[in-house]
Amino acid sequence: MTKQIVVLISGSGSNLQALIDAQQQDCLGGHISLVVSNKKRAYGLTRAANADIPTAVRTLKEYRDAGKSREDFDRDLAEFIASDYAPDLIVLAGWMHILSPAFIDRFRGRIINLHPALPGELDGAHAIDRAYVEFKAGSRSRTGVMVHYVIPEVDKGAPILVEEIPCKEGDSQEDLENRIHAVEHHILPKAVKLVLSGNVKSSE
């Protein structure tokens, strides 16, 4: 039976496109059955629609406006995904919303995240910006990309795949970003296939 994947995005969806391309080449190890965005205008929704993948938009603002909590949002999102799609794997591909245990506990060991830093370094938002600042200050000579399992502690889950990226003399921030994004686009599909194959396990 084909493994089912749900992808969560917030922006342009370039990493989603890498997953779609891998799926079309039969190199993903599963089928993307849904793309969810927490931003109504995320271009990733267009990428999904162009590939005939169902989409959904769920925004925290709607919950805030209704006097509901972040945990309510996460719990309802988890219920929607679990009841309607029953995914084997959830992939956070540029999902800019920190998930609470209300979501994570529903899918323990079945959520992975792409983060543009090495394990134990530059956890949280703006990792590329911070890496470049440290590089220019002379305190960093490399950064990297990892795909890891998601746990409540941000970017602290067990790594699945890691690739180091050098910071090169003369790099602009755009140069470094482009090198990081190129690695992201090949490492994420590989990690998805690896997890769905059963050849790597969460430490949960």
Q: Report helix, strand or coil for 149.
A: strand
Catalytic residue numbers?
A: 115
Yes or no: say if 37 and 53 are a contact pair by the CB < 8 Å rule: no
pTM for the full predicted model:
0.95
Residues in a beta bridge with 111: 90
pLDDT digit string (tens) for the chain, length 204 residues: 899 999 999 999 999 999 999 999 999 999 999 999 999 999 999 999 999 999 999 999 999 999 999 999 999 999 999 999 999 999 999 999 999 999 999 999 999 999 999 999 999 899 999 999 999 999 999 999 999 999 999 989 999 999 999 999 999 999 999 999 999 999 999 999 999 998 887 765
DSSP string, 67-102: T--HHHHHHHHHHHHHHHH--SEEEESS--SPPPHH
